[in-house]
Every structure is written in structure tokens, then in C-alpha cells.
Structure 1
């Protein structure tokens, strides 16, 4: 979910550690990169009988993937996650608009990363619901295809407001500062469990055993430098039920930012 080129070497070290953790459970594993970040292609990979371990967005898990996978936990992010593995998205606007709160965004042009994004779509809808129940409060939204693309649309004056995954915003602020230049944070989305690590229900090893192995991998001293470079501070165990709360959030978001 966060394989930015700027932290590629560290990401590869993390992936190697995860493969080693799976193999310590007697589960044959190798790294497979999705051909595309398009939702349909990601769903195809996540539902594949060959998938053992991956990371998904919380919303696709809740709406579709829960039939096929189990949650084992989520990485925690420095200065982003709380001790339970929860975080809040960052609501941003173009600074030149002079807007300083959600209550002032009436008439603005929203951009969402995609309609299956907890951070990009749902969290923005929930944030807007704090001040309105009318879809016409803001202009019809556009889809960018990714958080970095949403920020670029703000830079190019093609959109006015977006909700950005907090870990992504942290990475982009550090490695691509031009994307967050002249952007103002005016609020935050709801506190939600971060992007989950998921294990296929067809995996030959118990979910608990995989969870333990992955947790130990994140605690390995040899991996700490790589994790620090990415911005990851640890790993928190989570269960399927931790994502049940998303159902009500989706209903709330649909009122203000309907997907249909």
C-alpha cells in the first residue's frame, strides 16, 4: 500500500522479512507485485487462491474481502497511529482559498482517490457530514486514482479539497514536498483502524500462527532501520471485528458524497 520509490530499498527489506516469517510457518511464499493499482486488479489479486499475505484498504475488506481473508493486524506509523493502530486521514484544501475549517468548504470541488477508499472517499464524506447532510453542499466530486494524484490536482487548481491517507501524507511531505506546498490542513477524518494486513482463509497455516510470525518480524532488531526509514513504528494485532465500525461510517458518507 505504501511502496513509494523513495523508500523502495527499505520496503524490499520489509517484504523479505515478511516472506521469511511466512516460511518459518512452513508456508511457501514469494513477493508478487500487482500489475495495476486499479481496484478491480487489486481485488483479483487479493481474492486469488495463490495469495497468502497482503495489505488492503479497510473499506474493500469490509465491503468485499471479508469473505475471503482474515485480518491479522496493521503497521503503526510514527506520529500518525495511536497505540491501537487507529489513525485519522488529513483533510486538506488549497491554501489560496483562505478556508480554515470544514464548515467553510461549501461550494468547493472535492477530489477522491477512488470510491473504494476508506481514507480518500469515506473519511471525506464523514468529515463533511459534521457540517451538512446535503450532497449539494460541495460540487460533484472527481476521482483521481490515488492520493498523490489528488494532491497534484489541488496543486493544478483542478480540485479544492481532498482527504489524504495520513501515512501517505507523511511520506509525501518528506519525500515530495512540492505536492503538499500551498496546501492547508483544515481537519481530520474519523478515527479508524489503519490499512490491514490480511491472510487468505485458504492459507494452510492458522491465522494466529501467521499473526505471531508477522508480529515477531516487525520486532526484529535487524529490520528497525528499514522500518524507521519508511516511517513505521511497529505492528498492532487486530481482528476482523475491529473493522465492523466502518459499515456505519459508509452509510454516513453516502449521504453527503453518494457513490451512485
Structure 2
């Protein structure tokens, strides 16, 4: 079996994620469900998400609605207690350089750094935010952290950073955060869903996650930004618009 909480599992919070998983595993044992000893931290995310051996994984809203929906089972959505968002929802922070003037629409003809074209927060959310306009000049970076670096060093001008990831950047990469400023945020959309293989019952998994988050120490909950598990209907995910893929992507040098 496979378990992965890879989306926010930075090295700086790996120990906290390990303790969260240990509590989930213990709660699953109480449900009579065997679980892996450790989280999987290598290999393709798509291979993990689509594996019939998946016990618990965390994906992104855009992959869920475009490819995984109907092929996996939705368990719930971790609530990271973001301000100005319903439980389990999140948004993207638009960032530019700290000394760069302008608001979001002032950057429409400049270069958007994005982590991946299958990212809700880095690609779909910013494009949906400016519709019917579009960011036509783009730079693919591969990760939100790399998008922030690209903006800070002038290789791009704007990026949309998952608000939970931005919180991690501020906490663990303060020198980078100091070079950037927030110029707005996208509308909230359902956050990163927890999923399991299609044949599994999600109910005991949801109970185990809820119990584990409740049992986390206050310091671990603060480090991860967690406050619970939200229930968000699948239709809320699949109803989010999916913009076209980038057409003028410039490789990041």
C-alpha cells in the first residue's frame, strides 16, 4: 500500500508530516486497516495517485477534475485555516518583486511564472482570475518555490503562489519572501483533496485523518497550518473552469 502527503511535504516540515502520518496510521489500526509504516516521498505523483495500491494521497484540484475524478475516491480536504476562505478552500497569492509597482492587471502583458500547467493554484487560478484576458507570456518553473525565485531574480514578473506554500516560503525562506510583495489573490477554490484508490471506502480514512489532526500537538498543527478535515463535494472541484494550456511557454534558464 502507498501513502503520500507530498504536496506540502517540504524537508522543513517532514518530521511534522511523519508524526501526522503516524497518528493517521494508528487511527487506521483502530479501524482494522493496515497502513504503510512510512510516507512515500519518491516516484511520480501520477503513478502514486493512479495506483490501485493507494491508501491515502494528496493531489491538486486541477488533476482531480481533469483526470482523476471518477477513477479515485475522494476522502476529504485538509483545512489549512486560510483567512478569507471557507474551510478546506484555498487561493493563490499574486506576487511580484518588492520594488515593482503595479497591481495584477498591470502585469497582463508581462511574464507569468507558473509551476506546472496541471496546477490549479499556479496555472488555472491566475488565468481564471483575469478572464476574459489571459497571461500569454509564461515561464514554466516546475515548483512554486522556483516561480518565486524566478520573479525575485527578474526572470519573470508575476506568479500565483498557493497560499499555503506562500506561508511556508515566508516561514522557511524569509530572505526570498523579503524580495517579493503580494499584489492580490485569486478567488478561493476547493483545496488539495485527499484521495484513495477507487475500490476503497473513504469513511474510515476520513475518520482517521480527523482524529489524527485533532491529536497533533499544538506545535505540529501550527507548523503544518492544519485545523481539521473538511468535506467538499466532488462537483465543487469539477465545476472549476480549466483554462487552455500555455501557448507561449519560455523554458526557464
Tell me whether the two structures share a fold, i.e. TM-score over 0.5: yes
Contact kept in structure 1, 2:24 and 2:211, CA below 8 Å: no
Contact kept in structure 2, 1:112 and 1:163, CA below 8 Å: yes
Flag the 1:199–1:259 CA change in 2: closer, same or farther, 3 A.
farther
Flag the 1:81–1:216 CA change in 2: closer, same or farther, 3 A.
farther
Looking at structure 2, the residues matched to 239 and 223 of structure 1 have their Cα atoms a distance apart, in angstroms, of 29
- Structure 1 runs, 4 residues or longer, greater than 4 Å off: 257-260
| Aligned-pair CA distance for 1:26 | 2.1
Equivalence for 1:216: 211
| Aligned-pair CA distance for 1:210 | 2.0
Contact kept in structure 2, 1:70 and 1:239, CA below 8 Å: no
Equivalence for 2:4: none
Looking at structure 1, the residues matched to 84 and 108 of structure 2 have their Cα atoms a distance apart, in angstroms, of 30
| Aligned-pair CA distance for 1:200 | 1.3
Point out the structure with the larger strand share: 2
* Mapping for residues 84-233 of structure 1, pairs under 5 Å: 84-99=87-102, 101-129=103-131, 132-133=132-133, 135=134, 138-203=135-200, 206-220=201-215, 222-233=216-227
Question: Mind listing any 5+ residue stretches in structure 1 that lack a counterpart?
Answer: none
| Aligned-pair CA distance for 1:68 | 2.2
- Secondary structure in 1 matching 2:19: helix
Looking at structure 1, the residues matched to 112 and 61 of structure 2 have their Cα atoms a distance apart, in angstroms, of 21
Looking at structure 2, the residues matched to 193 and 119 of structure 1 have their Cα atoms a distance apart, in angstroms, of 10
User: Aligned match of 1:244 in 235, 238, 245?
Assistant: 238
Flag the 1:219–1:177 CA change in 2: closer, same or farther, 3 A.
same
Please give the TM-score of this superposition, normalised by the length of structure 2. 0.87
2:19 is equivalent to residue 13 of structure 1: yes
- Corresponding residue pairs, total: 242
Point out the structure with the larger helix share: 1
Please give the TM-score of this superposition, normalised by the length of structure 1. 0.85
Looking at structure 2, the residues matched to 75 and 150 of structure 1 have their Cα atoms a distance apart, in angstroms, of 24
Question: Mind listing any 5+ residue stretches in structure 2 that lack a counterpart?
Answer: 1-6
| Aligned-pair CA distance for 1:259 | 8.6
Contact kept in structure 2, 1:211 and 1:237, CA below 8 Å: no
Superposed CA deviations along residues 10-57 of structure 1, whole A, max 9, x for unmatched, are 111011112222332222211342424xxxx21111111111111111
Flag the 1:33–1:254 CA change in 2: closer, same or farther, 3 A.
same
2:63 is equivalent to residue 60 of structure 1: yes
